[in-house]
Amino acid sequence: MRRVGILGGTFNPPHIGHLVMANEAFHAARLDEVRFMPNFIAPHKEVSGGSAVQRLEMVKLAIADHPSFAIEPIEIDQGGVSYSVETMTRLIEREPDTEFHFIIGGDMVAGLKDWHRIDELCEMVRFIGVSRPGYEAITEYPVNFIQSPEIHLSSTLLRERAANGATMKYLVPDAVESYIRKEHLYGPNSDVTES
């Protein structure tokens, strides 16, 4: 049975924190593959700046040199609001011989109680919790916690830097920074609605 990690998010933009998190989970949990799964519209946050297509392209660029990282476009392809339990139901139906591990940051662990149909989701997947600075990872739900180098970096900071023309060197892969500059993402006149 293949062991596949799923790392969901808006990836607006994807950055080295996402890559380190995925790589640490890949090795610690002995996964066969980690799939980055961009949301079309996340139920818990506003997405502005990068369209679904642009965010998908940035993830592709970010993971291009890792042979065990892949894209899972299921939520982008479906469109609309995405709930993890519904997405994972479809993935399990599509791949019944795969054991799915859902990778989440320490900042999300405490909020699991508020996730849509969380008890059902816990029956479907194994959660991998990755440490994150400033967050105490305490939950009543079954989460396999792993230690990881802690990188205090957010996509919000990177959007602000891009808008101000400030450096993103070493914070995002070079190909992602080039794409952001080429597409004029996150500038004062670059708000993009999802399409």
Give domain status of residue 195, yes or no. no
Q: Is residue 195's pLDDT more than 50?
A: no
Q: Where is average pLDDT lowest: 49-53, 120-124, 163-167? A: 49-53
Cβ count near 24 (within 10 Å): 18
Average the pLDDT over 143-153 and give the result. 87
- Residue 158 per-residue DSSP state: H
- The reported pLDDT for the residue numbered 192 is 37
Instruction: Find the DSSP H helices in the chain.
Output: 16-28, 52-63, 74-78, 84-94, 106-109, 118-124, 155-164, 174-183
Q: Is residue 158's pLDDT more than 90?
A: yes
Give domain status of residue 49, yes or no. yes
What domain count does the chain have? 1
Average the pLDDT over 5-31 and give the result. 96
Give the burial string for 171-184 (b: 16+ CB within 10 Å, else e).
bbbeebbebbeebe
Token pair belonging to 51: 């369209």
Given the structure tokens 């790392």, which residue do they identify?
7
pTM recorded for the entire structure? 0.89
In Å, how far are 62, 147, 175 from 158, measured between CA atoms?
15, 24, 15
Label residue 190 by pLDDT band (50, 70, 90): very low
Give domain status of residue 12, yes or no. yes
Give domain status of residue 137, yes or no. yes
- Residue 148 per-residue DSSP state: -
Give domain status of residue 166, yes or no. yes
Could you list the residue range(s) of the whole structural domain that residue 171 is in?
2-183
- In this structure, what CATH number is given to the domain that contains residue 98? 3.40.50.620
Nearby residues of 151 by Cβ (< 8 Å), 6 or more positions away = 16, 17, 20, 133
Q: Is residue 45's pLDDT more than 80?
A: no
pLDDT digits (tens, 9 = 90+) for 89-145: 999 999 999 999 999 988 788 889 999 999 999 999 999 999 766 666 678 899 999
The total number of residues shown for the chain amounts to: 195
Give domain status of residue 77, yes or no. yes
Q: Is residue 146's pLDDT more than 70?
A: yes
Give domain status of residue 152, yes or no. yes
Give domain status of residue 32, yes or no. yes
